[in-house]
Each structure stands twice: as structure tokens, then as C-alpha cells.
Structure 1
Amino acid sequence: MRSGRLVLCVRGRVERMERIDGTGRTERGALPPGPGGRARPGGLASFAYTAADEEKRRGVRRMKTTATGLLLLVALVYVLATWAKNEGVSGWPGFVAAAAEAGMVGALADWFAVTALFKRPLGLPIPHTAIIPTKKDQLGASLGSFVGENFLSGDVVRDRIHSLGIGGRVGSWLAEPAHADRVTAELSTALRGALTVLRDADVQAVVGEAITRRANAAEIGPGLGKMLAKVVADGGHRKLVDLVCARAHDWLVLHGDSVMDAVQGGAPGWTPRFVDKRVGERVYKELLRFVTEMRDMPGHPARGSIDTFLADFAADLQTDSETRDRVERLKSEILGRGEVQDVIASAWASVRAMVIAAAEDEQSELRLRARASLMSLGARLATDERLQGKLEGWLEDAAAYVVTTYRTEITSLISDTVAGWDADQTSRKIEAHIGRDLQFIRINGTVVGALAGLAIYTVSWALWG
């Protein structure tokens, strides 16, 4: 056999050329010619005829030689027994000749049957011979139909999955810490791979568009109103008011001159300067006193006014259409700003980096929680028959759906693949694999024929002499 035989490997319905050498390794190649140097029809080739097949074929040849040798031996025995009988030897020559004659008939009949599978006996165009080369396509179609009817049946798949007890077995396996670690590592690798192949620009565009569309579709006024009303009712806003008052007081203390200069700068030009200064000082002192009292007096009237304003605003957000429309317009304006869109889009990069880092770190919270969840799920699956039933039901439904929906595609894969094989190569390969057993049929036919002939002759001799 030449190393580097060119074949066409059919994988599904996708054609891919490969070169197969004696080691079984493959590399890209070109379409091999068919018999006589012609291109193979439809671009399909037989399945590879390898060195291992050639070795098996040599074994078939040895068995053929043995079976043929046995036929010749029986024929020689027949000739000698018949000669002895004709020479007047009585008794045993008749029995031996009858056995040898029947053995030859059995051997020839089985030789014809075995040979007819792969080629035409003696090259004669006898009907129903060379079955594999001439009926290859029909055999492929029949095989596809057989598989579809007996293996790709929804009931068969359901029964098989149910008998396996997958739920309990998976649960017991997954409950083991080592197995949970292995699954967690595989999931982490898959997650990192998925995040790596995704294009950031595409994901950012999708995330930005999804968030914007969702935000525009949902009215936020009533929700904000309910949240604000609850915050006001619980007094949660008071700490914020305390903070603002404290900050305002500190700022006034540090920037008193600025405040007084601002007041003086706004005075009319005809007023005396000392009057402007006194007014500025007075305004600053009153403002500082007001802010100090608000900071130090929880019951200050201004604080009550803030509470009332916030409560009224919360109610307007929920019930007043004008207020709600204003909030929606403000929301649209904010979302439409380029800075906001950039922030939304850039969030993906941060999330992606965070997830990848967590997936790579064996001690990250993500992996530890995933491992704990897998072990917990495994423990439940191992003991909870109801959960086992749910899992097995899902698997049964999924498998039944696949085999019933895509049965035609699966069976056509078988028939189309067989149809693409070269008839002569297919016949040679099949003969290489089952030829030895078929030659044993020839040997058995010779032996059984001889025994049958001997039995028939013996019975005839006993009855009629």
C-alpha cells in the first residue's frame, strides 16, 4: 500500500480533503481520482483503505487458500474413492465417495454465495451477484432507515435514558469535591474562552442599546416617587440634610470674606462704601446663624420645610402627570448625552476584566461559590428523587426532541455517506474485515456437506442395500 493515499473524509455533509499515511495521521490534500484516473463523481470518495486493512486482507487470502485447499482435497478423495469403487473394492469406497461428493457440492455452493457478495463469480453476469458493489446505495439507505426506526425513536431514547438513572449517578459523581473542582475548572475555562472571543465593540454596542432601550421603555417617575416617599417616611434623608448643613457651615466659616464681597459687589453704586460693608457683614452673620441653627436644631422650621417639600415631590412623582413628564424628559436628555453612553458602554470592559480575573483565580469568590453550588446540587441530586425525576425528564424531552426533529438529517447522513463511497474500495474494505469469517463458512459448508452426504448415503444403503 502506498503511503500518502488520498481520500475524502466525509464529516456530516461538509466535505474536507485529507491525506492519510501509514501512521494514521492526516494532512490537507487534494481529491483523489477514481478508478481509471477519473475524478470521483460528486466530489465524494470511499472511506480510507489503510495498511491495517491490507494486513487483514492478507489474512483473508490465507483463509481462501485454506478453504480452496480443502475443496481440492475433497475432490481428490472423491476421485480416489470413485476409482477404488470402479476397481471392484466393496464397502467403504461408496461411503467415502458420497461424503466427498456432497462436500464438494457444499463447498462450491458456499464459494458461490460468499463470492457473490463482493463480485461476479467467474466474471459471469449472473443476476443477484456482486451485491455490495451494485447495491451499496440501497444498503446505505436501508441502514439509515433501520437506524432511524430502531434507534432514533423518541420512545427508545426515553426508555434508554430512564434506565440509566442519570440523575442519581450525576449527583453522586458531582458531590465528590475532586469532581466538583474539575467541573468548576472546566466551566471557568469555557467562560474565559467565551469572553475572550467576544468582540468588545459588539458587546458594548449591544449592552448600551439594551440599557438605553430598557430605560426609555420604563417610566421611572412613579418608582422614584415611591422610593423617595419611603425614605422621607423613615427619616433616611435627615443624615443627608445634616451633612449638607455641616458642609455649608464649614464653607461659610472659611469663605466669609468671599460672601461679604459678593454682597457688597451687588449693592447700588450710589450707596456709601461703609454702608455696603455693614450690610455685607450683617447678611453674612445672619446666613451663618441660620445655617448653624439648622445644623444644631433637629426641629428647625427649615428642616420641616425640607421634609414637606420632599414628601410633596414624592407624591407628585407618583400622581402628577406634569412632574412625571418633566422627569421623563430629563431622563431622555441624560441618556442621550455622549458621556453617559460612553459610561454605559465602558461598563462591559470592567465587568469582563473582573469576570476573567475571578475565573482564573482558584480562590476567587466566584469559583468558590460555583464549587459549593455544584457540590450542593450533587448532594441533592443523589438523594432527592423528585429532583432526579425533573433532570431525567428534561434530558428525555431534549433527546426525544432532537431525534424526532432531526431524524431525517441523521439518517440521510448515513445514506449519503455510504452513497459517496467508491463501490470497489468499499467492497475491498468490507471483505478485509469480514472475509475470514466468510471463508470459515466455506470450510463449514464443505464439512457439513460431506457429513450430510455420508448420512444420506448411509440411510439409503441401510434401506435399499
Structure 2
Amino acid sequence: MTSASRILSPSDAERLLALRRMKLIATGLFVLMAVFFVVAFTLQGRFPWLGYVRAAAEGGMVGALADWFAVTALFRHPLGLRIPHTAIIPNRKDEIGASLGEFVETNFLSDEVVAGKLGSIDIAGALGAWVARPENARRVVAEASTAVRGLATMLDDETMRDAIEAVVRTHLVEPEWAPPIGRLGARILDSGGHHEAVDLLVDRLDDWVAANPEAFGALVSARLPSWLPSFVDRLVDDRVYTEVRRFLADVRSDPQHKLRVAIDGYLGELVDRLQNDQPTIAKLEAAKHHAFDDPRVRELAGSAWQAAKTAAVDALADSESELRKRAEAALADAGARLAADRELGAKVNVWITDAAVHLVATYRHDIASVIGDTVTAWDPKETTEKIELQVGKDLQFIRINGTVVGSLAGLAIFTIATALLPR
């Protein structure tokens, strides 16, 4: 223990001191019994009553030696003699570790124990009340910010760009677009939801025509023969402009207008072709792949990641940033709601309990095996020292009790024998 004491923690150093003190007491009591025995054995001829002292001392010595042997045999070979069934802990430490792990697994990690313990605790209420305090919410956000910033600095930009591109391709590009778009369009047409879009388009077109009448001059009169008088050009332009405005007004006011019917027919045919016409589906898929195969899309993914990472890291690094303040406020508010809402708290408690029971049930053996694996990896001498340091002080009381009980037993036997047996 001397070599280990140089690296002991303060608490273990205190235990070592107490262990040595108890060993001295137990050994000193044995020596005292030996002194009494020698004195009584030498003088009992002159003083017969010393026979009782000798018997008590003799029994105390036997009890002390027997219990010293028993305690010592747990940790080492008594007097260095390799007597069978001694040095039990160093010789059987692997079995002890495995048994301890099995004991913990059976008695501490069972579903009933975990569920019962967690069920008796209002975890959600305690957690909510703690997080609801602004200083605690600030602390949680600060620690989370540090962790996220550390993770962000560890991530390689090129790797993240590839990851983003892979995710986009797997979940966005690879699946067919045409049939889902067609089904969505069919539902919109069935519900009449596209009518609002048509109304909006006609309204915007009418507004543009009203604000740009000169556009019809270049469009119509510029194509008339040059020999026509200029007033004819103006009449044609005004007539075309008026007719376009009237046409748009008719479309706006008449839900059954031919243009609306034509649009409905075209859209209905389009959504059907998107779902069932292979050439149409192939064209859309080809256009989609062409767009996403463009190198600029890859550059966009990299730029998006870099911009998001920079913005997030900068915001998380600043304790006064809007992001962190909002996160703190949201966390504190969520904690207050969790602490105040009993129904919500009960649901969260059930969720936590179920999750813990599931984890324990899944990894119970792995958790318990840590004990056995750890003890197996220990050096036998180190294991002996660790265990003796923890329980050795109490075991010394066995030696003391053995001395006392042996003395009383020796005295009782001698007294009874003297009273009952003739001499």
C-alpha cells in the first residue's frame, strides 16, 4: 500500500490512515492478550484465580488469530504461505467482477426498478423549473452554443458540401417529380384552387395593359403599310387596345369564359400526362437532372453551407446576439410551461421513463459488463488494495470482536469446567 499511497486521492489517503490505525488497535489487543496469558500462566500457581485470566487471555488470542487469518485470507496469503482458499480476492477477482456486474444488472438495471424509480420522480417538473430560471437557460444555451461551434469547426466544408449534395440528390433529385406533381395538380384542379391563380394572372395582365397602352402602337400600327394616314394608325392602336381591355374584362367577369375553359382543359390534360404519359414524364425528369447537374448547383450548395455555417458560428459566439437571446427566451418559456402544465409534464415523464426503460432493456448487459471488464483489467495487487482500502477498516473490527468474544468464550468454558468437573 505504500507505493499506491503516493498517488491516492485525499479521501483514499484518509481511508488508508484509518485502516492502519484499526490494524494497530486489533494487533495491540492481541499483544495485550498475549501479555495477560504469559503473566497469568507464570503466576497462576501462586495465585489460582489467575487461571480465569489465563483462560480468558488464551481464548482471546485464539479468537484474534483465527479472525486475523480469516481477514488476511481475503486479500493475501497469511504469512506468505500458499494455503488453499487464501488470497481470495486477487485469485478470483475476475469472477468477483463478473458476479458484481450480474448483481447490478439483475437488481439495479431491471425494468421494474428503473421504471419504479423514474415513476416516483417528477423529472419534467424539476427540469422545467430549473430551465425556467433565466440564468440556467442562459447557461444551457451557452454550453450548447460552444458545442455547436466546436462541431462546426470540425466539419470539413468540402465534405459537408458533398453531404448536402448527396442528401439533395437522394431525397429530392432521384425520386420522380412528374407523377407527384401531376397528382397534386389534379387535386388542385378538382378543388378549383387554380381559379384564384387564373384570376390573379388576369388581374395583373389587365393592370399592365392599362398602364402600358403605348405597347400596342409598336405591336400593331408599326406593321401597317406606310402609305396609310397616321390617323388610321392611331385608330387601329386605340381599337386594339380597347378590344384587349374588353376581352380581359370579360374573362374577369365570366367564370365560364372560353379562355378559362381552355385553361382548365389544358391544365387537366397536363396533369394527366404528368401522371401517365411516359414521354412527358421523361422530359420533366431530363430537365430536372440537367438543372441539378449544372456545376453552379454544386457551387450553390457549397455557398449555402458556408454562409449558414458562418452566420451560425458568428451568432452563437456572440452572447448578445439575437439568436442566443431568442433561444434563451424560448428555452425559459418552454421550461415554465413544462413546470406549470401538469398534463404536459405527465406526458413528458412517461416519455422519459419509456425511453429510459427501452435504453436500459437494450443495453442492460453492456452497461453491467463494464463493471466486469473494468475489474478484469485491473492488476490483482491493485484490485486487492482498492477493495481493502474501502472495507479494510470495518474488517478490522472482526479481529477486535474475535478477540473479545474469544476471551469471553474462554473464560466461560473455564468457569463451567471448573464448576462442574472434579479436579
Q: Which residue is 2:47 aligned to?
A: 89
Query: Contact conserved, 1:260 with 1:280, CA < 8 A, in 2?
Result: no
1:65 and 1:302, CA in 2 relative to 1: closer, same or farther beyond 3 A? closer
Change beyond 3 A, Cα 1:439–1:391? same
* Contact 1:118–1:427 (8 Å) recurs in 2: yes
User: Which of 58, 63, 77 pairs up with 2:36?
Assistant: 77
Distance 1:195 1:62 in 2: 56
Question: What is the distance in 2 between the residues matched to 1:302 and 1:374?
Answer: 51
Structure 1 residues 296 and 462: CA distance shift in structure 2, 3 A: farther
Q: Does 1:216 align with 2:174?
A: no
Contact conserved, 1:232 with 1:310, CA < 8 A, in 2? no
What is the rounded CA distance, in whole Å, between the counterparts of 2:293 and 2:235 in structure 1?
41
Matches within 5 A, 1:303-452: 306-319=259-272, 328-338=281-291, 342-343=296-297, 346=300, 348-349=304-305, 351-352=308-309, 359=316, 370-452=327-409
1:208·1:344 contact (CA, 8 Å) conserved in 2? no
Letter in 1 for 2:43: A
Structure 1 residues 84 and 237 mapped into 2: Cα distance closer, same or farther (>3 Å)? same
Given residue 47 of structure 2, which amino acid in structure 1 is its aligned partner? Answer: V
| Larger displacement relative to structure 2 (104-113 or 317-326) | 317-326
Q: Is the 8 A contact 2:179 2:275 kept in 1?
A: no
How far did residue 172 of structure 1 move?
2.4
Q: Alpha-carbon deviations, 1:372-427, whole Å to 9, x = none?
A: 54444434432444333322222222222222222222222222221222212322
* Correspondence 1:185-196 to 2 at 5 A: 185-196=142-153
More deviation in 421-430 or 218-227? 218-227
Deviation at 1:276, TM superposition (A): 4.7
Query: Aligned pair 1:204/2:164, yes or no?
Result: yes
Q: 2:273 touches 2:281 (CA, 8 Å); kept in 1? A: no
Query: How far apart, in 1, do the equivalents of 2:10 and 2:232 lie?
Result: 109
Q: How far apart, in 1, do the equivalents of 2:214 and 2:316 lie?
A: 47
> Closer, same or farther in 2 for the Cα pair 1:219/1:429, shift >3 Å?
closer
Name the CA shift for 1:363/1:312 in 2 (closer, same or farther; >3 Å): farther
Match of 2:70 in 1: 113
Q: Does 1:294 align with 2:244?
A: yes
- How far 1:306 moved relative to its partner? 4.3
Task: Give the aligned partner of residue 16 of structure 1.
Answer: none
Amino acid at match of 1:134: N
- Work out whether residues 216 and 332 of structure 1, in 8 Å CA contact, stay in contact via their aligned partners in 2: yes
Question: Which structure has the higher relative contact order (CA within 8 Å, separation 6+)?
Answer: 2
Residue 357 of structure 1 deviates from its aligned partner by 5.6
Question: What secondary structure, in the 3-state scheme, does the structure 1 residue paired with 2:116 have?
Answer: helix
Is the 8 Å Cα contact of residues 140 and 419 (structure 1) preserved in structure 2? yes
RMSD between aligned residues? 4.1
Report the 3-state secondary structure (helix = DSSP H, G, I; strand = E; otherwise coil) of the residue aligned with 1:164. coil
- Where 2:249 maps in the other structure, the secondary structure is coil
Cα distance in 2, alignment partners of residues 244 and 2 from structure 1: 96
Q: Which runs of 5+ in 1 are unaligned?
A: 6-20, 25-48, 265-274
Distance 2:181 2:175 in 1: 11
- The structural deviation recorded for 1:112 is 0.5
- Calculate the TM-score normalised by the size of structure 2: 0.78
Partners of 1:282 and 1:326 lie apart in 2 by 49
Task: Give % identity.
Answer: 39
2:205 to 241, 252, 256: 241
SS at match of 2:287: helix
SS class of match (1:141) = helix
CA distance in 1, matches of 2:163, 2:210: 44
Deviation larger for 310-319 or 50-59: 50-59
* Matched-pair contact (CA < 8 Å) for 2:72–2:78: yes
* 2-structure distance, mates of 1:385, 1:296: 65
- On the 8 A contact 1:102/1:450 being kept in 2, the answer is yes
1:299 match: secondary structure = helix
Number of aligned residue pairs: give it: 408
Taking a change above 3 Å as real, the CA distance of residues 339 and 401 of structure 1, as seen in their structure-2 partners, is closer
Q: Secondary structure of the equivalent of 1:126? A: coil
Query: What is the aligned partner in structure 2 of residue 169 from structure 1?
Result: 126
> Taking structure 1 as the reference length, what is the TM-score of the superposition?
0.72
Deviations along 1:38-91, whole A, 9 cap, x unmatched? xxxxxxxxxxx77986775566445434432322221111111121112x2133
Structure 1 equivalent of residue 193 of structure 2: 230
Does the CA-based 8 Å contact 1:212-1:335 persist in structure 2?
yes
Distance in structure 1 (CA, Å) of the matches to 2:172 and 2:345: 38
1: CA distance, partners of 2:243 / 2:377: 95
Quick check: 1:144–1:412 contact (8 Å CA) kept in 2? yes
